[in-house]
Amino acid sequence: MNLPNKLTLSRIILTIVMILICLFPFYSIGINFPKLNIDGLIIDSTYLIAGFIFIIASLTDFLDGYLARKNNQVTDTGKLLDAIADKVLVNSALIILAVRGFIPAIVPVIYVFRDEVVNSLKMDALKKGKVVAAIKSGKIKTASMMIGVTLMFFYNLPFELFNFKVADFLIYFALIMSIVSACEYYNLWKKLK
């Protein structure tokens, strides 16, 4: 297992840690994470910790691909692991944010549904010996969603102090881009038939 693949695997492990931090009932074993008061905004430090974990995991997404290309270590296993790790990280974060009331449940529903449709198209193309490559709108979607989710974990600070809903904007923009990219993937898939 090369370094890029190890970084990808670390993203999956970090996702599991993020899930545990956010969803495990630590209070039941006597552990209470502190709450902070910033200009009247009550912040649960659990989500700050999750936000830092999400940032580190997101950085591995960019680093593993860069290192794989730079060191000529691109492998089929790495491509598969990377796609799984990306979906597990972002979809888990969106589900956590929906369960905890930060975002509406429809956001992860649409996002996961879109991922399943696009993955099905890619797998069908692969069965026919053709590859549907990553597209620009998909990359914009991913970057916007990762920044939006990070800001959401951080209670949209510092923008919240000025009542600028940057986290909300980025998450909904990414959601629109996810639909746009799904349509583009569908068109690419149709051309490959």
The fold for domain 3-192 equals Four Helix Bundle (Hemerythrin (Met), subunit A) (1.20.120)
Write the burial class of residue 156 (CB in 10 Å: 0-12 exposed, 13-18 middle, 19+ buried): buried
Contact present, 166 and 151 (Cβ < 8 Å): yes
Please state whether 75 falls in left (phi above 0), alpha (psi between -120 and 50) or beta.
beta
Q: What is the mean pLDDT of residues 22-46?
A: 92
Q: For residue 171, count other CB atoms closer than 10 A to its CB.
A: 24
Q: What is the mean pLDDT of residues 53-75?
A: 89
Which of 163, 186, 168, 171 is closest to 39 using CA atoms?
163
pTM metric for this prediction: 0.90
Q: Where in the chain are the domains?
A: 3-192
Going by pLDDT thresholds of 50, 70 and 90, the confidence category of residue 116 is very high
Strand partners, 43: 36
Which of 139, 144, 133 is closest to 74 using CA atoms?
133
Complete DSSP assignment for 31-87: ----EEEETTEEEEHHHHHHHHHHHHHHHHHHHHHHHHHHTT---HHHHHHHHHHHH
Please say if the pLDDT value at position 62 is more than 90: no
Going by pLDDT thresholds of 50, 70 and 90, the confidence category of residue 91 is very high
Q: How far apart are the first and last CA of the chain?
A: 35
Taking the C-alpha atoms of residue 184 and residue 21, their distance in angstroms, rounded to an integer, is 36
